[in-house]
Amino acid sequence: MRSGQGRPLTALVLGAICLGCSPILVRVSELGPVATAFWRLTLALIPLAAAFLARRDAEPGARPRNRREYAVAALPGVALAGDLITWHISIHMTTVTNSTLLANMAPIVVTLMTWVMLRRPPSRVFLAGLVLSIVGVVVLNGGLKPGGHWHGDAVALCAACSYAGYFVLLARARKTFSTGVVMLWSTIAAAVCVLPVALVFERAFVPAMLAGWATVLALGWIVHAGGQGLIAFSMAWLPATFSSLTLLIQPVVAAILAALLLGEPLTVAQAAGGSIVIAGIMLARRGAS
């Protein structure tokens, strides 16, 4: 590990663990998937705005000063909104296995985008780690199973592209603005983009029970403000390619939580797949520039 990257790498891993809780909370939510995404984003603005206001004097940093800079800070949220909408919709159009597997192909897209846009070809060691991690995700999810509609699979791939765009835009924004600025404006942008979709397609928009509010509050504060905030912090120091690859531990965390909280047994294939993912990440870390 190079000097100065210990804290960002720790933040990235902790952020991935927080995001691994997301599928469990979305599954138990009493709202539909898009409405759940909206409240996750909206409720996250409470701690994000409070943190931003508390540190704006102690940590001045750069602030957006014109429309172009506001766009740079907000654009990651547009991509994140696309990811949340398409991934949740794809779950209802194809099998959960296909949706989860295809939506987690973002590292491939990020690597290709970095290669084409920034002309930074990945090293052979990184590519080996990428392939190994993808194999681990396939093993973890039991492989692509027949029977899912190809429209749903295509929507899941769109989610992977949106998530990849989020990482690239987030890395760009973090070169100029602090974590608080990027998280606040990108979350506002994401909530604005998700709101009309939720109003049009969801039957129930507001949780009716206290447990429903607790679920979306956990998604907003723990998953988004906590998990995405830690990831945004790490992006100022770590490459987008490696960061997106490290987040492949999300299916590992989700599988463990499903076994503990939902009674879904952790199979030998899932344990083997999780181990392969972690091994691939460690290998890719050696080849990340």
Give pLDDT tens digits for 57-72. Answer: 655 556 788 888 999 9
Confirm if 164 and 105 have CB atoms less than 8 A apart.
Answer: no
Give the pLDDT of residue 191. Answer: 96
- For residues 213-230, average pLDDT: 92
User: How far, in Å, are 118, 137, 263 from residue 131 at the CA level?
Assistant: 21, 10, 31
User: How far, in Å, are 133, 195, 218, 255 from residue 39 at the CA level?
Assistant: 32, 9, 10, 24
Rounded CA-CA distance 122/286 in Å is 12
What are the pLDDT digits (tens) for 60-114? 556 788 888 999 999 999 999 999 998 878 777 766 556 666 777 777 777 777 7
**DSSP state string for 80-105:** HHHHHHHHHHHHTTS-HHHHHHHHT-
Instruction: Tell me: pLDDT of 1 over 50.
Output: no
Give the pLDDT of residue 58. Answer: 57
Query: Which one is predicted more confidently, 42 or 271?
Result: 42
Query: For the chain, how are helix, strand and coil distributed in percent, rounded to 5?
Result: 75, 0, 25
What are the pLDDT digits (tens) for 29-66? 899 889 999 999 999 999 999 988 887 665 555 678 88
Average pLDDT, the chain: 81
Give the pLDDT of residue 190. Answer: 96
Confidence of residue 4 (pLDDT cuts 50, 70, 90): low
Give the pLDDT of residue 41. Answer: 95
Give the pLDDT of residue 221. Answer: 94
Rounded CA-CA distance 40/27 in Å is 13
Confidence of residue 249 (pLDDT cuts 50, 70, 90): confident
Q: Which of 9-13, 181-185, 234-238 has the highest mean pLDDT?
A: 181-185
Give the DSSP H or E segment for 36: helix 33-55
- Block residue for tokens 């404006």: 185
Query: Which one is predicted more confidently, 27 or 173?
Result: 173
- Give the burial class of 202: count Cβ atoms within 10 A of its Cβ; 0-12 exposed, 13-18 middle, 19 or more buried: middle
What are the pLDDT digits (tens) for 121-160? 777 887 888 788 778 777 766 655 555 566 777 887 888 8
